[in-house]
């Protein structure tokens, strides 16, 4: 009967620890690793969502700036068209008798147009400079 092994002896490994205890510790280790993996995945998902929200905010801000630039260009176009109409009236449909007077009117309107274009360029540069 010496060759007979009891149930308790059969469940022991070479280190003297029962297999059921080893299995339980393996399950605990696997559970801990799975929980850690789950935490890492949740953190990564949260980071991705925050990144997408930030990207959407930047896109909305960029679109707003583009709309402002288009609006500014449209206002300046209207001002320049009004300026040209006014110039044509002053230079060609008035009682200017001398060429010197016409040249003076033309120079004045050229200066006004250049000032308007300079203001428009500054406004666009300011809008673009505020970009993050």
- Domain definitions of the chain by residue range: 17-129
According to DSSP H, which parts of 1-132 are helical?
Answer: 7-10, 19-92, 99-129
pLDDT of 33 > 60? The answer is yes
18 phi and psi angles, rounded to 5 deg: -65, 150
pLDDT (mean) for 24-51: 87
Query: If you search the block for the tokens 């809008």, which residue do you land on?
Result: 127
- What gap in Å lies between CA 115 and CA 132, rounded to an integer? 29
- pTM over 0.85, yes/no: no
Per-residue pLDDT band for 1 (boundaries 50, 70, 90) equals very low
Higher-scoring residue by pLDDT: 8, 127: 127
Per-residue pLDDT band for 132 (boundaries 50, 70, 90) equals low
- 55 neighbors 46 (Cβ within 8 angstroms): no
pLDDT of 97 > 80? The answer is no
């Amino acid at each position: 009967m010496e060759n007979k092994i009891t149930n308790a002896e059969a469940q022991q490994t070479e280190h003297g620890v029962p297999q059921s205890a080893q299995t339980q510790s393996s399950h605990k280790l696997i559970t801990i690793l799975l929980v850690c993996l789950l935490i890492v995945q949740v953190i990564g998902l949260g980071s991705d969502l925050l990144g997408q929200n930030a990207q959407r905010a930047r896109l909305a801000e960029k679109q707003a700036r583009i709309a402002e630039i288009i609006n500014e260009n449209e206002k300046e176009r209207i001002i320049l068209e009004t300026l040209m109409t006014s110039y044509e009236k002053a230079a060609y449909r008035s009682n200017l008798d001398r060429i010197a007077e016409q040249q003076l009117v033309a120079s004045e309107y050229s200066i006004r147009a250049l000032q308007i274009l300079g203001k428009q360029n500054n406004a666009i540069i300011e809008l673009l400079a505020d970009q993050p």
